[in-house]
A and B are shown apart, each in its own frame.
Chain A
Amino acid sequence: MPDSPSPSPLVELEDARLRFGVVKALDGATLHVRPGECLGLVGHNGAGKSTVVNILNGALTPDEGVLRRDGQTVHRNDINDARAHGTRCVFQELSLCPNLTVIENTRIVHRDLGGFGWRKRARQIIEDSLNRIFPGHHIDSQATVGSLSIAQRQMVEIAMAFSESSTRPRLVILDEPTSSLDATLAGQMLAQVRRFVQAGGSVILISHILHEILSTADRIIVMKDGRVSVERPAGDFTTQSLFEAMGSVAPEEGVTQQARNLSQAPVVLKVPHPTVPFTARRGELVGLTGLSGHGQSEMLIDLFRQHSGNWLPHRNPTVAFVAGDRRLNGIFHLWSILENFAIAALGDLTRRGFVDDAAVRERGAAWQRRIEIRTQDMNQPILSLSGGNQQKVLFARALGTRAPVVLMDDPMRGVDVGTKQEVYRIIREEAAAGRTFIWYSTEMEEVCLCDRVYVFREGAIVAELAGSEVNENNILAASFEGEAA
């Protein structure tokens, strides 16, 4: 690579390391982007992709290692400095202000737009960019972003990143930019990436839709456990080899799962729906899938709310919940591991309203052994655990209840492979013992572990797949089916 004849790199990261508390987000990552190339970045959740993005856009500074922009070593990383070098970013989650109009959001993104008549200039900039990338887009630039659909918001964000004011974009980082776009719009976006690269710009494309990466990127980097594990020209990869490079082994296991036919088992949960009614049977693994953020988490949360007491606790709980977003609806950060574990099952662990310490300790110790929570003392604060072990505590919390149905809201986000395998094993054991799991996952390998799968789009179930129908192609097809541009 060093003796390549290509122009010198726009941005370089050398042996970058960064930790958050006990979690190693980056563990010696080295990568670079040259002008006129599209770099594909793949890897599982928690592999360090987002951290790389946040270092390149100036939000985070690595603890160790070197960051160079245009060959110059950056000593104090800074968002404005990165922007002045033409770095632009489209983030996975919405990063526009929903209460402002598209024009006003443009004003926020382009700091140098100020002065009298900025509305007119901002409008020009964003409409030009939208028209160029998504011809015939039907987006009113005077509408508040909150009133746009998810796809339209993503289009605005993409157009924003490629828009030009006084500083031209030179490096555009796209983190899952097509997650809410249908095939036509995704195609328009990828065409823009190619045009931009041919004109000498650089793009970092992050996507877990592998054929997008393969067709658009010039070079592909695979990240794993905070470092770059494989780096090759895109042409040297096939879908299969890229899949293998990412370390995915699940598909074969999935096949063994399909053998179960539970259509005779009793139904434990039911949601009536005009087109595709939802049912879950005893001992079944039911998957929820589709594009992320299309109502899967909401359905799980609704299911939980309907089947648990908000005014009085239920004596015999029917559902338990495992959170994916640990910080938002999972852990209690001020509490010990044991307190975090016990909260869901307190009804069984109290006598006349007072907590029975001995019973809590006993049950905690049993689950610590079973799910292998790595700590010397369950009375340690929950935050002393690594992310994976915190997630195990959340699993133990749900499985430690008597609830026959466990709802899982993409719980493996940012969990290492070893932990995943341990948890899959316990889920299979529990399912064999008659527990039902309703499992929303953004990872295809996990979806393929399920007996039956419901595909979501725009907040509703659009398809049901069972047995051998559960595969990536069918799910993607159902996710986009009938979507108009």
Chain B
Amino acid sequence: MSLRIPVDTIRLAVPVLALSALLIAVFWLQPRAMSYLGLNLLFNLAVPIALATVAQMFILAVNDLDLSMGAFVSFAACVTATFLHSSPLLGALILAAAVAVYAAMGAIIHLRNLPSIVVTLGMSFVWTGIAVLLLPAPGGAAPAWVRSLMTAKPPLVPMAIVASVVIALVTHLILMRTSLGVLIRAVGGNQQSVARAGWSPLLAKAAAYALAGTFAVLAGIALVGLTTSADANIALRYTLLSIAGVILGGGEFVGGRVSPVGAVIGALTLALAGSFLSFLRISPDWQIGAQGAILVIVLALRLFLNKLERQERGG
């Protein structure tokens, strides 16, 4: 009992510390960022990234990996900027159908015991292909309600932060407090015991994929609300960002160990890292490379902390 609390705290402390450290560094480099407007700018793109990250988290919770996340968010953004704008009902139907495709994908991956990596890689072609057909060139427009929601200015705290807190709370409720969430994590932890208790791992997996699809759709909508237009490649880097966010937030690749609150903090950290790099005046040539390097550093840090955790448990 005396061991459990520190272990869990360490898990959540890493992302919190990383975010604070980065925030302090940014404020030090650019003191003007320490304001309502500054924070709003810093975390401007955090909301879609956070949504994509929690989407990826649902997939990781059942020990799979979604390599089509970026392509799918781009697709959802294209639908939002075209159909959801011009004929909202049809747009909503298309997005609902896309979520159904996600659920079906989870079911097929489970039933045929397919590698999720390859299936989602194949699906990323499909989503990008449809997105290219929808918007061959950048364009479209954000539905007015999305635009006004994303640019709302609540008192005291910027919208991006309010939205992030809401996302963290909602996903925490779904994954950590409800029976469905327990079931999804149980599939990641020990699928056999789920089946032995008489549950259907198939339905649990399909539900996890459906939830992932839903949050990825929301990510696409939020993204268009910020950018006011879309193109087929708008969110391709979200695949890496979303995986990195979950891992940074204390999640593991296998074993159903994920943390919704951590994932959102991880996403915020990554969003902030982008701003930090531009404050450091790193050449745009190196922006992608720096992200790769940051991910490597994060994973190295994680390994180090896992070692500490094991030592603590052993001793």
Contact (Cβ within 8 A) A99 B7 = no
Checking B199, B255, B257, B313 against A108 with a beta-carbon cut-off of 8 angstroms, the contacting residue is B199
Contact (Cβ within 8 A) A99 B4 = no
Residue B188 at the chain A interface, CB threshold 8 Å = yes
A439 to B4, CA, bound (A): 36
Nearest to B255 among chain A residues (CB) is A99
Residues of the B chain whose Cβ atoms lie less than 8 Å from the Cβ of A100: 182, 185-186, 189, 256
Residue B193 at the chain A interface, CB threshold 8 Å = yes
Contact (Cβ within 8 A) B4 A143 = yes
Q: Given A100-B185, A147-B3, do A95 and B196 touch, yes or no (CB 8 Å)?
A: yes
Residue A419 at the chain B interface, CB threshold 8 Å = no
Contact (Cβ within 8 A) B4 A108 = no
Contact (Cβ within 8 A) A95 B199 = no
Contact (Cβ within 8 A) A111 B198 = yes
Residue B183 at the chain A interface, CB threshold 8 Å = yes
A106 to B185, CA, bound (A): 14
Contact (Cβ within 8 A) A140 B4 = yes
Residue B290 at the chain A interface, CB threshold 8 Å = no
A399 to B196, CA, bound (A): 40
Nearest to A104 among chain B residues (CB) is B182
Residue A135 at the chain B interface, CB threshold 8 Å = no
Residues of the A chain whose Cβ atoms lie less than 8 Å from the Cβ of B197: 79, 83, 108-109, 111
A52 to chain B, nearest CB (A): 16
Contact (Cβ within 8 A) A59 B196 = yes
Q: Given A104-B182, A140-B1, A140-B4, do A99 and B194 touch, yes or no (CB 8 Å)?
A: no
Residues of the B chain whose Cβ atoms lie less than 8 Å from the Cβ of A147: 3-4, 7, 313
B187-205 contacts to A, CB under 8 A, are: 188-190, 192-199
A94 to B241, CA, bound (A): 35
Please indicate which of the listed interface residues B185, B188, B190 has the most CB atoms of chain A within 10 Å of its own CB. B190
Residue B9 at the chain A interface, CB threshold 8 Å = no
A114 to B183, CA, bound (A): 11
Q: Given A107-B182, A108-B182, do A96 and B193 touch, yes or no (CB 8 Å)?
A: yes
Contact (Cβ within 8 A) B189 A99 = yes
A439-471 contacts to B, CB under 8 A, are: none
Residues of the B chain whose Cβ atoms lie less than 8 Å from the Cβ of A140: 1, 4
Residue A267 at the chain B interface, CB threshold 8 Å = no
Bitwise interface map of A from 134 to 147 toward B, beta carbon under 8 Å scored 1, else 0: 00000010011001
Residue B179 at the chain A interface, CB threshold 8 Å = yes
Residues of the A chain whose Cβ atoms lie less than 8 Å from the Cβ of B190: 94-98
Residue A163 at the chain B interface, CB threshold 8 Å = no
Bitwise interface map of A from 349 to 382 toward B, beta carbon under 8 Å scored 1, else 0: 0000000000000000000000000000000000
B194 to chain A, nearest CB (A): 6
Interface residue count on the B side (C-beta < 8 Å): 25
Residues of the B chain whose Cβ atoms lie less than 8 Å from the Cβ of A113: 179
Residue A296 at the chain B interface, CB threshold 8 Å = no
Residue A345 at the chain B interface, CB threshold 8 Å = no
B158-208 contacts to A, CB under 8 A, are: 177, 179, 182-183, 185-186, 188-190, 192-199
Bitwise interface map of A from 78 to 116 toward B, beta carbon under 8 Å scored 1, else 0: 011001000001010011111110001101110101100
Nearest to A79 among chain B residues (CB) is B198
Contact (Cβ within 8 A) B196 A89 = yes
B125 to chain A, nearest CB (A): 29
Residue A289 at the chain B interface, CB threshold 8 Å = no
B67 to chain A, nearest CB (A): 23
Contact (Cβ within 8 A) B7 A108 = no
Checking A79, A97, A143 against B185 with a beta-carbon cut-off of 8 angstroms, the contacting residue is A97
B306 to chain A, nearest CB (A): 13
A91 to B257, CA, bound (A): 24
A98 to B193, CA, bound (A): 11
Contact (Cβ within 8 A) B196 A118 = no
Bitwise interface map of A from 55 to 97 toward B, beta carbon under 8 Å scored 1, else 0: 0010100000000000000000001100100000101001111
Contact (Cβ within 8 A) A111 B189 = no
Please indicate which of the listed interface residues B185, B188, B197, B199 has the most CB atoms of chain A within 10 Å of its own CB. B197
Contact (Cβ within 8 A) A114 B179 = yes
Nearest to A119 among chain B residues (CB) is B177
Residues of the A chain whose Cβ atoms lie less than 8 Å from the Cβ of B186: 97, 99-100, 104-105, 108
A96 to B183, CA, bound (A): 12
Contact (Cβ within 8 A) B195 A108 = no
Contact (Cβ within 8 A) B198 A83 = yes
Nearest to B192 among chain A residues (CB) is A95
Contact (Cβ within 8 A) B196 A111 = no
Residues of the B chain whose Cβ atoms lie less than 8 Å from the Cβ of A143: 1, 4
Contact (Cβ within 8 A) A118 B179 = yes
Residues of the B chain whose Cβ atoms lie less than 8 Å from the Cβ of A111: 197-199
A105 to B256, CA, bound (A): 13
A481 to chain B, nearest CB (A): 22
A147 to chain B, nearest CB (A): 5
Bitwise interface map of B from 245 to 269 toward A, beta carbon under 8 Å scored 1, else 0: 0000000000111000000000000
Residues of the B chain whose Cβ atoms lie less than 8 Å from the Cβ of A114: 179
A431 to B13, CA, bound (A): 56
A274 to B143, CA, bound (A): 72
Contact (Cβ within 8 A) A108 B188 = no
Residues of the B chain whose Cβ atoms lie less than 8 Å from the Cβ of A83: 197-198
A148 to chain B, nearest CB (A): 9
A100 to B182, CA, bound (A): 8
Residues of the B chain whose Cβ atoms lie less than 8 Å from the Cβ of A80: 198
Nearest to A114 among chain B residues (CB) is B179
Checking B3, B192, B198, B256 against A99 with a beta-carbon cut-off of 8 angstroms, the contacting residue is B256
A119 to B179, CA, bound (A): 9
Checking B192, B194, B198, B255 against A98 with a beta-carbon cut-off of 8 angstroms, the contacting residue is B255
B195 to chain A, nearest CB (A): 7
A263 to chain B, nearest CB (A): 35
Bitwise interface map of B from 290 to 313 toward A, beta carbon under 8 Å scored 1, else 0: 000000000000000000000001
Nearest to A107 among chain B residues (CB) is B182
Residues of the A chain whose Cβ atoms lie less than 8 Å from the Cβ of B194: 97, 108
Nearest to B182 among chain A residues (CB) is A104
Residues of the A chain whose Cβ atoms lie less than 8 Å from the Cβ of B256: 97, 99-100
A159 to chain B, nearest CB (A): 15
Residues of the A chain whose Cβ atoms lie less than 8 Å from the Cβ of B188: 99
- In the complex, besides A89-B196, A97-B193, A140-B4, 14 extra interface pairs with C-beta distance below 8 angstroms are A57-B196, A83-B198, A91-B196, A95-B190, A96-B193, A97-B185, A97-B186, A98-B190, A99-B185, A99-B186, A105-B186, A108-B186, A111-B199, A118-B179
The 4 closest A-B pairs by CB, nearest first: A97-B189, A99-B189, A80-B198, A97-B190
A-B contact pairs, 21 of them (CB 8 A): A79-B197, A80-B198, A96-B190, A97-B186, A97-B189, A98-B190, A99-B185, A99-B188, A99-B256, A100-B185, A100-B186, A104-B186, A108-B183, A108-B194, A108-B199, A111-B197, A111-B198, A111-B199, A140-B4, A143-B1, A147-B7
